[in-house]
């Protein structure tokens, strides 16, 4: 299961979490500094928080482009 908020930062008026099933391929890579990154459909996400059951990823352009996109994946990712 992956939940995703729009990378453009657009959210429903009630700020409800949107759950979608992604049929495209997600790619896991390492940044230049060795941190885990998730790549999906032209967007990249950096690992923000990890719990026993989930990993929260934030858009890599969060600071430079004020991107609000997030992804929550199962931990471990299957």
Show Cβ contacts of residue 25 under 8 Å, excluding neighbours closer than 6 positions. Answer: 40
Q: Report yes or no on whether pTM surpasses 0.75.
A: no
Q: Give the DSSP H/E element, type plus range, for residue 5.
A: none
Question: What was the pLDDT predicted at 73?
Answer: 85
pLDDT in tens, the chain (78 residues): 455 555 555 444 455 555 555 556 788 889 899 988 999 888 899 999 999 999 999 999 888 888 888 888 888 765
Q: Taken in order 31, 39, 25, 20, is the CA torsion positive or negative?
A: positive
What pLDDT was estimated at residue 24? 66
Token pair 């928080």 in the structure block, residue? 49
**Is it true that the peptide bond before 76 is cis, omega within 30 degrees of 0?**
yes
């Amino acid at each position: 299961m992956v939940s995703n908020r729009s990378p453009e930062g657009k959210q429903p008026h009630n700020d409800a979490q949107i759950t979608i099933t992604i049929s495209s391929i997600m790619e896991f890579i390492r940044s230049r500094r060795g941190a885990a990154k998730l790549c999906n459909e032209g967007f990249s996400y950096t690992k923000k928080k990890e719990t026993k059951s989930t990993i929260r990823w934030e858009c890599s352009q969060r600071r430079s482009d004020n991107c609000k996109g997030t992804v929550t994946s199962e931990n471990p990712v299957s």
